[in-house]
Amino acid sequence: MLSTKVTRIHGKTFVEVTLLSNIIGVDLGEWFLLAGLDKVSVHVEGIINATCQLRGSNVDISPINDGVQLGNDITVDQIIYFKVPLKWIKVKVATYVSGEISAYLVGE
């Protein structure tokens, strides 16, 4: 189950989600329903020798497949941000050699 926290700062509501936590191997990730969040950033960190992918889907219910890749492979720690309508998102560890990978989403 994904760890989710909702905070309100200066009249704005922010949703914080831990999409991956200290992963040490290949991992399919878990889908998170964005539920109308339209400004989103995803911080992926802990990559030493691995490939992660940001995956998305616009199906109505939790996807049963891998969705589609959003952007390029992630091979170094970075923050990805976007402002597009999207229903579901996850981070997948596609290949793994070393590292302890975490991914955090913040949305408004």
With 0.85 as the threshold, say if the pTM is over it: yes
Q: Give residue 47's Cα distance to chain centre.
A: 14
- How many domains does the structure of the chain reveal? 1
Q: What CATH code is carried by the domain that includes residue 35?
A: 2.60.120
Question: What letters, b where the CB count within 10 A reaches 16 and e where it falls short, cover 54-77?
Answer: bbbbeeeeebeeebeebeeebeee
Each residue's pLDDT expressed in tens, for the chain with a length of 108 residues: 799 999 999 998 999 999 999 999 999 999 999 988 989 999 999 999 999 999 999 999 999 999 999 999 999 999 999 888 899 999 999 999 999 999 999 999
SS (HEC) of 6-58:
EEEECCEEEEEEEEEEEECCCECCCCEECCCCCCEEEEEEEEEEEEEEEEEEC
Question: What integer pLDDT is reported at residue 54 of this predicted model?
Answer: 97
Q: Which domain holds residue 96?
A: 3-107
Question: What integer pLDDT is reported at residue 83 of this predicted model?
Answer: 86
Question: What integer pLDDT is reported at residue 82 of this predicted model?
Answer: 87
| DSSP line for 47-96 | EEEEEEEEEEE--SS--SS--EE-SS-B-S-EEEEE-S--SEEEEEEEEE
Strand partners, 68: 56
